[in-house]
C-alpha cells in the first residue's frame, strides 16, 4: 500500500443523516449502525465529492496508507446505478482533471456497449465539492485598477482553480496562453510575485516534494 488522499469520517460529528451517500457515485460510503462509513478504500478516489454535502462537517480528507483506487471495480457499482449516476461520476472525474481514470471509465463503458454523452445536461447535476476554488472561473478579461488613495497593489490573479490536481487541462485560460507552474510556497516567499511573475499568465501550483501522487501531474503537463 502507498499513501494517498482518502476520505476520513469524524464519528463524533456524524449523525447518520445520509446526505453524503447519494453524492458519492463511486459507492464508497454507507450508513452503518447510525454512522456514515467508508466501506472500502478501493472505491474512494479522495476527491471529496461528498464533503460539501455533510451538514455536520464530519467528512474530511486525510493522507494515509490505503489500497489503490480501482476504477474498474467502481464502474461495476456505477453501471448498476444507472445513467445519471454514470454521468455524475464521469463529470466528477473530468472536473478534477483525472484524465487517466476518465479514459479507463469510458473504455469500460465501451466494452459494455453503454453509450453515454456525459457532457450534456441531465436531471442530476454534477457533484459539488467542498472547495469554492474547484469551480472553473476565468476572469482574465476583468480590469483591476490600482487604488490611488491607498496605493494598494493590484492582483494579477485571473482564474480558478490553481492547484494542479484540480485544474482541467481543457480550461479556456490555458489555451494558447503562457502558463506559470510554481511550487505552492512561492507566493508566500516572494513579496512581488504577482508583479514580477504573474502578469498575463495563467497559474498552476503544486508541491511535488510533499504530494504523494505525482503521476497525475505528469499526465496533465503532457496534455
* Cell reading at 123: 436531471
pLDDT digits (tens, 9 = 90+) for 21-46: 888 888 899 998 899 999 989 999 88
pLDDT digits (tens, 9 = 90+) for 143-168: 555 555 666 777 888 777 777 777 77
Do 14 and 73 form a contact (C-beta atoms < 8 A)? no
Do 206 and 163 form a contact (C-beta atoms < 8 A)? yes
pLDDT for the residue 128: 45
The more confidently predicted of residues 220 and 206 is 206
* Cell reading at 27: 459507492
In the chain, list all ranges with CATH 3.30.70.20. Answer: 2-111
131-136 long-range contacts (CB < 8 A, ≥24 apart) are: 131/48, 131/166, 132/160, 133/160, 133/161, 133/162, 133/163, 133/166, 134/95, 134/96, 134/160, 134/161, 134/166, 135/160, 135/161, 136/95, 136/160, 136/161, 136/168, 136/171
Fold classified for 2-111:
Alpha-Beta Plaits (3.30.70)
Amino acid at each position: 500500500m502507498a499513501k494517498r488522499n482518502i476520505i476520513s469520517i469524524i464519528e463524533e460529528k456524524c449523525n447518520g443523516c445520509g446526505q453524503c451517500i447519494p453524492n458519492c457515485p463511486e459507492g464508497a460510503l454507507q450508513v452503518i449502525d447510525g454512522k456514515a462509513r467508508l466501506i472500502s478504500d478501493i472505491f474512494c478516489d479522495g476527491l471529496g465529492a461528498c464533503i460539501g454535502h455533510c451538514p455536520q462537517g464530519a467528512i474530511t480528507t486525510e493522507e494515509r496508507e490505503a489500497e489503490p483506487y480501482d476504477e474498474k471495480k467502481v464502474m461495476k457499482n456505477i453501471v448498476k446505478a444507472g445513467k445519471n449516476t454514470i454521468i455524475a461520476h464521469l463529470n466528477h472525474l473530468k472536473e478534477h482533471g483525472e484524465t487517466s481514470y476518465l479514459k479507463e471509465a469510458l473504455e469500460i463503458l465501451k466494452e459494455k456497449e453503454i453509450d453515454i454523452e456525459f457532457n450534456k445536461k441531465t436531471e442530476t447535476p454534477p457533484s459539488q465539492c467542498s472547495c469554492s476554488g474547484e469551480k472553473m472561473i476565468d476572469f482574465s478579461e476583468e480590469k483591476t485598477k490600482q487604488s490611488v488613495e491607498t496605493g494598494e497593489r493590484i492582483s494579477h490573479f485571473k482564474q480558478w482553480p490553481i492547484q494542479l490536481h484540480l485544474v482541467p487541462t481543457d480550461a479556456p485560460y490555458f489555451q494558447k496562453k503562457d502558463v506559470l507552474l510554481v511550487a505552492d510556497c512561492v507566493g508566500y516567499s516572494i513579496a512581488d510575485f504577482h508583479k514580477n511573475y504573474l502578469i498575463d499568465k495563467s497559474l498552476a501550483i503544486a508541491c511535488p516534494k510533499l504530494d504523494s501522487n505525482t503521476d497525475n501531474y505528469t499526465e496533465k503537463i503532457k496534455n
